Structures are given as structure tokens and as C-alpha cells.
Chains A and B, each alone.
Chain A
Amino acid sequence: MHRRNRRSLQVAALAAGTALLATACNAAAKQDDTTAATGGSGKSFTLVTPDAVGQNEFLKLAVSGIESAAKRHDGTRKVYESTDTASQQQNVQAAVDAAPDVIVLVGFEFADIVAQQAQKHPKQQFLIVDACTTKTYDNVSCAVFREHEGVYLAGAEAGLLSKSGKVGAVDVLDTPQFRRYSDPFAAGARKVAAKTETSTRFVGGQSPFDDSARAKEQANTLLSKGYDQIMAAAAAGNYGVFEAAEAKGAYAYGVDVNQCTSAPGTVVDNVVKRTDVAVEKGIESVLAGTTGTTVSYGLKEGGISLTGLEDGVDSSKCVIADHKDVLAKVEALRDQIVSGELTVDDPAAS
């Protein structure tokens, strides 16, 4: 029995080794495949994404941002798409080896990787979008978003559209950073309808970011209490929130990209992050010599917006497209925030 056991172990180890080798080759191949370089003689930019770009709107915007930066400087751009943690590391290394003028990285996944590389290559300029390193480095610039401004506007829409006078939010975790998606929603609703009741549920649990069944139940607890407008800020759980709202004839609000297509007639509007704006403006400021700083992008800079305030509302399948009167009021609020007349409290500000 023992000998048989050992042999099967050896077979298993061999199989595992082969699988590892195969995936390693895959990762390397993927990188070559997606290295799309375009001609030119000016500046060179490299974008490293944490995931495959595919249908990911958030990353597609980042790609279009680097494309317009390359066009403006008559330069070249490369896009390295990662598929997992290992390829993220490899891609950053490959980008550093090629030494372009600016390496752009999107997502919190890169904060630690960049911190290591920035120390080793002090001449290389890095731009991290939607995250930042914990320590500041002279050659690392960060572009972050003021999501709370957009969430505030979505809350105003909810306050205007709510029939029950109760608007709620389903958030991922009860931390200041995530409260940016729920507290301003309540504040926005109360700004336009002072008597609005507000409440937030946090998904929590073992994997708060992808437990859509749990997010759906959290939304149900709000809906059963008469809440008819729900901000969905539960990552993958958002789809569960939409299902719950749809079943009860209530309305929901999405984040990051246009999620109205997931549940047409249920999703009212979305707080969108314009990654393209952050990438393009971020590159400009790095080239202008402002490095090692963190710049935040909100309504004023066009880094945060609502689907309803962007071009193409009518084809967005969003409920807000049928409520031009509400949009007009929300636009007025936006202008007040842009001009500085109105400030939105940031739950993450310490």
C-alpha cells in the first residue's frame, strides 16, 4: 500500500508541475499577444491592467485614456493585460525593463508591486490610478477618485424619485473607504427631501465582494421595510441587489460603469469612474514635472460622473433617461459642487 501511495504522489507532483509550467508559458504568451504598439517618435507610455480588458468597461476606459495620451504626444503606447497575481508582477517587470516615459497601472493590486519597483528604479515614472502606495515616492504619482461626490448626486436622484421617502444602500464593508458609497447617498437624498429616511446594510461575511446571494438578502431586508431606492455598492453582489429590487418593483443605483443593462427598468443611474480622464490628465501632470503627488478626480475634473449626466443617456437603458426633470435638478447640484458652493462630506477623510 505504501509503495502504491508514493507512486501516486509522484504522479500527482508531476502533473502539478506540468500544470504550473503550462500556466507560466501561458502568462508569458499572453503578454506578447496583447502588446499592441503603435508607431510614432514622441513619448512612450505603458499601461498594465490587473485583469484582461475584454468587456471590462473600467479597463476599456483606461485603454482609451492611454490611447489619447499617445495620440496627443505623437507617441507610442503598450498595453499589458494581466490575468492573475503572477502575471501582474511579470507585466510590471516587463514594463520597467522597457523603460517607457510613464508606466500607468490601474488598481489597488499594483500598490505593493510598484512600491518595490519604484525604489529599485528611481528614474522610472509610475502613475497608479484608483489606488496609491502607502509610502510616498518621488517617482510615483497617484490618481484617485472622489466617488462620494457622484454618490451624493445619485442620492439626490433617489430622494427625488422615492415614493416611500425611504432610500437605502447595500455596501460591502463598514469601513470609512466603503462608506463613501453609502453615507453621501443618504446625504444627497436628504438634501433634496429633508424628511427622507435612510439606512445602510453591509454585506460582510466570508467573502463580502462576491457573495451576491448575501447581498440580495441584505437588499431584501431594506425592501421589506419599504425602502424603494437602493444604492448598490456591493461589488459582484450588485447583481443580487438588482435582482431583489427588480422582484419588488423597486429601483437601484450602480457603480463604476453603466450597470443599467444588467437590469433594464430597475437600475436608475450609475456613479461612473472616468478612468480615461484620470489616465490622460495624470500622464499630463507627470510629463509636466509634477510627480510624487496624489491628485484626486471628482465632478470638477470630470473624473467622476453619473451615466445620466454623460452623453448617450438615452441609449443607456437607464431609468433616469425618462426623468429629465430630475436630471435638471441634479445638474444644478453638480454645478454647485463643481463651483465649490456645496461640499460633500468625505467619510474617508481623517
Chain B
Amino acid sequence: MFLDPDLLMSALRALTPILLAALGGALCERAGVFNIGLEGMMLMGCFTSVATSWFTGSPWLGVLAAALAAAAYSLILAVGAVTLRGDAVVLGIAMNLLAVGLTSFLLRTVFGVQGTFDDPSLAGLPLIGGFTPLAYLSWAAVAVAALLLSRHVWGLRLRGVGEAPDAAATLGVRPASYQYGVILLSGVLCGLAGAQLALGNVTLFTENMTAGRGWIAVVAVMLGRAAPLGVLLAALLFGLAEAAGFRLQGLGLPQQATDAAPYVVTLGALFLTTARRRRRPRTRSSGARS
């Protein structure tokens, strides 16, 4: 049988890290900061969570440390893009490259190993109903983010900052502080995503273990038009496509074809959503970036 509970579980496990990172990316997007450093921040979260859990024996401290470390790392983007007005794309790529090198270096200096740190006594996150608490948190975060953006004054101002920073400034809203806030928040979320990956999905650290999940999150932000629910659906689509891809291999489809599944789905979804969008008049200018 093709559609079974295992498939859904597998898809939801793949979903959590991507969803957490994508939510962070979506908030940044709404505030007018194009954040493509999700991959790097997530990787920092992976390493910090494993290192902290190993030395303290508590996966919870690992999660906390991952959130803090990734938030601190996100300051590169905050200072670079908001204060110094640098190019967010260049900064994001630099952050992704730096994270790969930095975590490999730390892995070597802190643990004295190369490639992978794995130990049977490394404490991972507990599973409740098959999922880590961070998975439930990610679903709750979707609802919270959706409410904040649509109903709360903070969300309204945030959107104002993203769409018309000058207008927001004349109304007494400081765009910079809102942008700092969401970038740090995206750091926290990516840190949690990293902790979920390294202490939840698996219990180990491998160099470059995020393996493109941060990039998929960036695409999910675009596909979901930076709306929390849209991002959830887009990330879920990826999770399902990936899990289904694994199954298709079992049915004899070559790996090269099943590898393409998430990307084919993305292209299809992009095509459908843009085709629909074109027919409707634009309500929101998406090009308003400082």
C-alpha cells in the first residue's frame, strides 16, 4: 500500500525543521528583509544543540543554546543589512558558507573528530506521540505567527515596515528595530530547526547536515507568499514529496527520478500559483524592499 500512516509520519518528520526555518524567513520577508541565511543559522543550531546536550547531558539546554547561538549568528545579517545597509542576499550567502566552515572547525576543535560526531550516550529530544515537542511547537508557531501578522498591532506595523518603510517611519514606527526584531526571531526559529534536526530527526552532528533544508525553507517562503499558513502548506508539500519519493524508489523508480520529486512539485506549484495570481489584480506590492 502506498498511502499509509508511515508515509504521513515520515512527511511530518521532514516537515518540522523546514517549517521552523521557513516561518523565520517569512517574518523577515514581511519586514522587507530577504533572508537566505536560513541554512547557515540552522547549521549553527545543529552544532550548538549537539555540543550543549553532550556537555550538559540535557537536550533541553541544547535546544535553548541552539536558539541563542543562532540568534547571535543572525546578528551578522541584522547589522549588515539593517544598520550598514549591505546586500541581504550577499550577507545570507556568506552566512551559509561561514556556518559550514565554522561548524566543521568547531567539530574538530571541540570534539576532535572529523565528519560526524555520534555517540550512543548523546541525549536526544523525547518523543511524544511519535514527534518531538519542537514539532508541536512549530505547529503552534504557525498559528501564533498568523494571528500576530493579521490581528495584532505589532504585525500590522511589521507589514507596514516591509511594504512602505518611509510611510511607517513618518508614523513614528522605527523600521530598523522591527527588522532587527524579526531577524533575531528568525535566528531563534532556525536555531530550533537545527536542534530539531540534530536532536530530533537524528541524534548526532554531521558536517553540512542541513543538506539544503534551509534553501528549501527559502523556497517555501516564496511559494507560501510569506504567509504563515501558506508557508506551512508549501513546507508540507515538500515533506510529502520527499517521503513519497522514498516510496517510489521501493516501487522501482530510479533514485535520480525520485530525487527530482520535490523540485518537480515546486515547479508545478509555482506555475499554478502564479497562473492564478496573474488573473487577479495585485493587492500588495511585493517589491517593497529597502
Residues of A in contact with B (beta carbons under 8 Å apart): 1, 4-5, 8, 51-52, 54-56, 173-174, 199, 201-202, 204-207, 210-214, 216-218, 220-222, 224-225, 236, 239-240, 243, 262-264
Residue B35 at the A interface, CB < 8 A?
A: no
Contacting residues, chain A, for B246 (C-beta < 8 A): 201, 217-218, 221
Q: What bracket does the count of chain B residues touching chain A fall in?
A: 35 or more
- B250, A201: Cβ atoms under 8 Å? yes
Provide the bound-state CA to CA distance between A201 and B253, in Å. Answer: 10
Provide the bound-state CA to CA distance between A28 and B61, in Å. Answer: 38
Which of B86, B243, B246, B247 counts the most A-chain CB atoms under 10 A from its CB?
B246
Residue B150 at the A interface, CB < 8 A?
A: no
- Which A residue's beta carbon lies closest to that of B127? A247
- A54, B114: Cβ atoms under 8 Å? yes
- A210, B85: Cβ atoms under 8 Å? no
Contacting residues, chain B, for A236 (C-beta < 8 A): 115-116, 206-207, 209
- A173, B247: Cβ atoms under 8 Å? no
Residue B171 at the A interface, CB < 8 A?
A: no
Contacts A201-B249, A216-B202 hold; do A210 and B208 have CB atoms under 8 A apart? yes
- B209, A263: Cβ atoms under 8 Å? no
Contacting residues, chain B, for A212 (C-beta < 8 A): 116, 202, 204, 206, 209
Residue B126 at the A interface, CB < 8 A?
A: no
Residue B268 at the A interface, CB < 8 A?
A: no
- Which B residue's beta carbon lies closest to that of A265? B120
Contacting residues, chain A, for B114 (C-beta < 8 A): 51-52, 54, 56
Residues of B in contact with A (beta carbons under 8 Å apart): 4, 6, 10, 13-14, 84-86, 108, 112-116, 118, 120, 197, 201-204, 206-209, 211-212, 215, 242-243, 246-247, 249-250, 254-256, 258-259
Contacts A5-B85, A207-B211 hold; do A202 and B249 have CB atoms under 8 A apart? yes
Contacts A239-B118, A243-B202 hold; do A225 and B250 have CB atoms under 8 A apart? yes
Provide the bound-state CA to CA distance between A217 and B85, in Å. Answer: 42
Task: A217-B10, A221-B6, A240-B202 given; name 5 further pairs at CB < 8 Å.
Answer: A54-B112, A174-B255, A201-B249, A213-B197, A236-B115
Contacting residues, chain B, for A51 (C-beta < 8 A): 114
Contacting residues, chain B, for A240 (C-beta < 8 A): 202, 204
- B86, A5: Cβ atoms under 8 Å? yes
Contacting residues, chain A, for B258 (C-beta < 8 A): 204
- Which B residue's beta carbon lies closest to that of A202? B255
Provide the bound-state CA to CA distance between A277 and B90, in Å. Answer: 48
Contact of B120 among A206, A210, A263 (CB under 8 A): A263
- A264, B120: Cβ atoms under 8 Å? yes
Contacting residues, chain A, for B116 (C-beta < 8 A): 210, 212, 236, 239
Which 10 A-B pairs have CB atoms at the shortest separation, nearest pair first? A206-B212, A202-B255, A211-B211, A174-B255, A213-B201, A204-B259, A207-B211, A224-B6, A236-B206, A239-B118
Contact of B255 among A173, A207, A220, A243 (CB under 8 A): A173
Contacting residues, chain B, for A1 (C-beta < 8 A): 85
- B86, A8: Cβ atoms under 8 Å? yes
Contacting residues, chain B, for A222 (C-beta < 8 A): 250
Closest Cβ of chain A to B206, distance in Å, is: 4
Closest Cβ of chain B to A183, distance in Å, is: 14
What are 13 A-B contacts with C-beta separation under 8 Å?
A1-B85, A52-B108, A55-B112, A204-B255, A205-B211, A210-B207, A212-B116, A217-B13, A221-B247, A225-B250, A236-B206, A239-B202, A243-B204
Contacting residues, chain A, for B249 (C-beta < 8 A): 201-202, 218, 221
Provide the bound-state CA to CA distance between A222 and B246, in Å. Answer: 10
Provide the bound-state CA to CA distance between A240 and B242, in Å. Answer: 17
Provide the bound-state CA to CA distance between A264 and B113, in Å. Answer: 20
Closest Cβ of chain B to A234, distance in Å, is: 11
Which of A55, A173, A217, A262 counts the most B-chain CB atoms under 10 A from its CB?
A217
- A205, B212: Cβ atoms under 8 Å? yes
- B250, A174: Cβ atoms under 8 Å? no
Contact of B84 among A5, A213, A214 (CB under 8 A): A5
